Amino acid sequence: MKRKSDWSAYVFILPGFCFFCFAIMIPLVMGINIAFTDWNGITDTYTYIGLKNFTDALQDQRIRQPILNTLYFALLGTAGNTMVSLGLALLVNQKLGKIASAAKMIFFIPVCFSAVLTAFLWKFIYRDVFGQLFHIKNLLGNAALVILAIVIMGLWNSCGINMLVYLSGLKNIPGDLYEAARIDGAGAFKSFRYITLPLLMPSFTVCVTISMTSWLKEFATTMCSTGGGPYGSSRTVSLYIYENLYDYSKAGYGQAVSMLFVIFLVVLGNLVSAFFRAREVEA
């Protein structure tokens, strides 16, 4: 019965794969090529300098601060995102009637806002509104707190979507499990620890991986709100790469840093997702 050659599976793949190659693979390969040159980003000519960019990157003193900042962003952002989104989901999941669905909508509305707008809006809030309300100085000008301030903006902008993922995970947990736990005398905390958390693992896999990698790539919100300042205290690796390309005319070097950065991201992303995948259980 089976047809001799069925190419349909490949035909289905093809259009999407072509677009993917055009927008990601080809530029990536072109980028790898640039990483081995001293190209300045403007002229048409460049020379190949071998691995020099990569050895420079490993010895670069100025890259240390952006790396630390990026890790701090990722740690704070991922922890914040997990706690806030899960908290919101648990809150909305309580049987509170109409108000819960209104809340769901309100938590999601900020997701519609672009990074440009989020940054512009929160800059105004930090400077004028908080200044007037609490008489505090602009957090974005405070080197010690600027990352926290940007993370708060980002959380406002992104938690709605992860809340939905957690919420759907919560809805998939069978109610009779809680019933059984209650009969066995487990309190609210115990049933959360031993039923909710393990059964939510698939949601954690998705949310933690995605929010962590997106915080590691943090660019637009920081770029639009502080531009990396004050004194580089919120400069991330992404911003450092961008500055090498556009401000210091060291496109080749910037491209080499970005290659190392991508390898780091892919390895870390896969490790974290494997860590959570291994802890997923069937309900």
Residue with tokens 């209104």: 102
Angle between helices 26-35 and 251-277 (to 10 degrees): 120
Neighbours of 15 (CB within 10 A): 9
Least distance in angstroms from the C-beta of 119 to other proteins: 9
Which residue, 171 or 182, is less far from other proteins as judged by CB?
171
Cα 148 versus chain centre, distance: 15
Retrieve residue 116's tokens: 């440009």
In the set 73, 156, 215, 253, which binds other proteins (CB under 8 A)?
156
Taking CB under 8 A as the binding criterion, the range among 2-10, 74-82, 175-183, 225-233 that sits at the site for other proteins is 2-10
Site for other proteins in 216-235 (CB under 8 A): 217, 219-220, 224
Neighbours of 210 (CB within 10 A): 18
If binding is defined by CB under 8 A, does position 277 make contact with other proteins? Answer: no
Least distance in angstroms from the C-beta of 156 to other proteins: 7
d(Cα 179, Cα 86) in Å, to the nearest integer?
22
If binding is defined by CB under 8 A, does position 102 make contact with other proteins? Answer: yes
Least distance in angstroms from the C-beta of 204 to other proteins: 10
**Number of residues located near other proteins, criterion CB under 8 A:** 89
Which residue, 59 or 132, is less far from other proteins as judged by CB?
132
If binding is defined by CB under 8 A, does position 71 make contact with other proteins? Answer: no
Which residue, 139 or 224, is less far from other proteins as judged by CB?
224
DSSP β-bridge partners for residue 37: 48
If binding is defined by CB under 8 A, does position 167 make contact with other proteins? Answer: yes
Least distance in angstroms from the C-beta of 8 to other proteins: 4
Which residue, 87 or 193, is less far from other proteins as judged by CB?
87
Residues 6+ apart with CB under 8 A from 157: 110, 111, 113, 115, 118, 221
In the DSSP assignment, the letter for residue 109 is G
Nearest to 269 by CA among 74, 15, 46: 74
